[in-house]
Amino acid sequence: MTRPRIIVTGMPLGDASAGAASEVADLFDPAISDVVTVRSAADMARLLAGDPVAAVVLTGPTATATDSVLALLSGPTVLEHFPDGVALLDATGGVLWANDVLKQWFHDRAGPSANFLTALGSPRWVDATGDHPLPPDWLAAEAGSAAGGVTLQMADDRFLHVHASPIFSLPAPAMPSLTSMTSAVATQPGDKRGAVVVVRDVTQTILEQQKRAAIHQAGQTLADLAPTELADMTVEERIELLKSNIIHYSKDLLKFDVLEIRLLDRQTSRLEPLLAEGMQPEAESRVLYAREENNGVTGYVAATGHSYLCDNTIEDSRFLEGCKDAKSSITVPLLLHTEVIGTFNVESPEPGSFSEIDLQFLEIFSQDVAAALNTLELLVAEKACTAAESVEAIHAAVALPVDQILNDAVNVMERYIGHDPDVVEKLRRILHNARDIKQVIQRVGEKMTPSYAQSKGRLAGQRENLRGRTILVVDADDEVRAAAHCLLERQGCIVETARDGNEAVSMVKAADATAYDAILADIRLPDMSGYDLLIRLQEILTTVPMILMTGFGYDPGHSIVKARQAGVDLVLFKPFRLDQLLETVERCVIRRPAAC
């Protein structure tokens, strides 16, 4: 790395000045900087016109001599390469001298001895609280090095940053003309302190800061709804509002006309389209996965979590066309903390259309988009959870009473078969309607659950082989039967129960020959053993899909041994875990119509 150059001068150098300059030069460490002592303005100009200079140190009487400072500033070579505006002000803010860069920003009617602020057109002071007039002591209190300077907003909406440094005593007021750079100003005892001000155009920086703030503010309002609005809007309406706001702010603030957002399905790694604007239909429907290869830039970004700026799509092998004739694009990950939940892609028909600043803006906006999507997911999950809990609570309350209706109806129907067909038909309707009660509850629950939640994972966690299967549970214990309803219905099963062997036999007789995909029976029922129930059911069914349940070490009458000899090898030992129950039932239904 090039070491900084520091120029030390006491010009015009006499013996005393030369000694002072040498002493100051000795203070700097030659290992970390190149210190050069100069004896004349010509040497100073030559050095400043060459390689960059980190600092100029004035020593001895030069540091407080107005004519020396003015002479130094007036040298055309010294500041002609300086990119910022520079001015020498008296103690009241009057302009003693200004370089050409600063004069370009002065008001056309600024005359001799013009006040610095007046010459700039009386700009406003911009700080964290807004914009307002500068206080009278702005030069000493606000623009000094301790305060870090001030930012001024011009009438034409440009922004200038002003930094002042006091350097020598000046009479007040000073009278040199605005354009004079050679007037010598005498220094007298008791004079007030003047200053050198450096003025830099920070318009681009301020505008970028304002745009960042506007983008963040827009992001905060993406999914911001009042409680009354939340109550009145469905989840689908909230999703559409969020999508509409994303598109609006993308176009209005970021000036992106073509965009696409995809959400990552964590189970399949598939990137599901959420919204698209300006994309071709075939691009919208394109199947993409979060993989680095063969899934375009979008798949690469989702897999790596890194943003991707493509200046020329024709030369980029990863790019897959989204909008017609796209020539450049930006793709950023939607990050929730450090986890990728999706991608945000924008495209343009012009090559090199996006800059690093555009990339930064999109990354900022994407953070708020990810947060808004997560908030929406939480709201949806909360509503889905509430609906599921409500449905389960209703199921728990009515499951066993409905089963009792079924059992009683079946028993009465058996007595009337062959005697009164009209009564039998009415009993069949009772059976049908009783079974429908639970299905109606399920349908109401699905209506309560947002369709978005259903599509995102209503069936997630369910075993495919158990969904829609009809299970008969035979046990005298009410808690066991209630638990069977709760656990198996969560898997999408249809559950009916019986309290003893005779009720189970009646339920099977009244049902279709293939109505029950699995029959779970305790080995010790009030009226018979599990093995006896198996024998009774074998008289009705060709194949009995039975699973026996028993406590450890308890098998009166050797029911399990006899059942195994009869072909039933599926046994659950109480207390069993949920996974054991589900695995055993799943094995049974998969093996049908073979013997269980």
Give the 3-state DSSP-derived string for 309-358, with helices as H, strands as E and coil as C.
Answer: EECCHHHCCCCCCCCCCCCEEEEEEEEECCEEEEEEEEEECCCCCCCHHH
Place of tokens 């943003």: 307
Given pLDDT bands bounded at 50, 70 and 90, which one contains residue 78? low
Report which listed range, 48-52, 447-451, 497-501, is most confident: 497-501
Q: How far apart are CA 2 and CA 50, in angstroms?
A: 14
Rounded (10°) CA dihedral 503, 506, 508, 511: -120
Helix (H/G/I), strand (E/B), else coil: 534: helix
Given pLDDT bands bounded at 50, 70 and 90, which one contains residue 59? low
Tell me the β-bridge partners of 473. Answer: 497, 520
Percent of the chain with pLDDT over 90: 22
pLDDT for residue 151 is more than 50: yes
pLDDT digits (tens, 9 = 90+) for 158-177: 899 988 877 654 444 433 33
Residue 386, Ramachandran bin (φ over 0: left; ψ between -120 and 50: alpha; else beta): alpha
Angle between helices 530-538 and 501-510 (to 10 degrees): 20
Whether the CB-CB separation of 257 and 328 falls below 8 Å is answered with no
pLDDT score of 310: 94
pLDDT digits (tens, 9 = 90+) for 191-240: 456 788 888 999 888 888 888 888 888 877 776 666 565 566 676 777 78
Whether the CB-CB separation of 73 and 97 falls below 8 Å is answered with yes
Q: How far apart are CA 330 and CA 297, in angstroms?
A: 9
What is the helix, strand, coil percentage profile of the chain, to 5? 45, 20, 35
First-to-last CA distance in the chain?
A: 80
Q: How far apart are CA 316 and CA 321, in angstroms?
A: 11
Helix (H) or strand (E) holding 5: strand 5-9
Q: At 592, list the tokens.
A: 């049908």
Instruction: Output 444 or 533, whichever has higher pLDDT.
Output: 533
pTM for the model stands at 0.52
Report which listed range, 140-144, 377-381, 447-451, 563-567, is most confident: 563-567
Q: How far apart are CA 427 and CA 406, in angstroms?
A: 10
pLDDT for residue 48 is more than 60: yes
For residue 217, what are the contacts with CB-CB under 8 A and spacing of at least 6? none
Q: How far apart are CA 545 and CA 543, in angstroms?
A: 6
DSSP string of 396-414, one letter each residue: HHHHHHHHHHHHHHHHHHH
Instruction: Output 419 or 333, whichever has higher pLDDT.
Output: 333
Helix (H) or strand (E) holding 452: helix 451-457
Place of tokens 């609280």: 129
pLDDT for residue 25 is more than 50: yes
Report CA 43 to chain centroid distance, whole Å.
Answer: 58
pLDDT digits (tens, 9 = 90+) for 401-413: 888 888 888 888 7
Percent of the chain with pLDDT over 70: 70
Which has the closest alpha carbon to 347: 367, 369, 361, 327? 327
- Within a 10 A sphere around the Cβ of 419, how many other Cβ atoms? 8
Strands 85-89 and 192-201: antiparallel
Residue 296, Ramachandran bin (φ over 0: left; ψ between -120 and 50: alpha; else beta): left
pLDDT digits (tens, 9 = 90+) for 466-490: 888 899 999 999 888 888 888 888 8
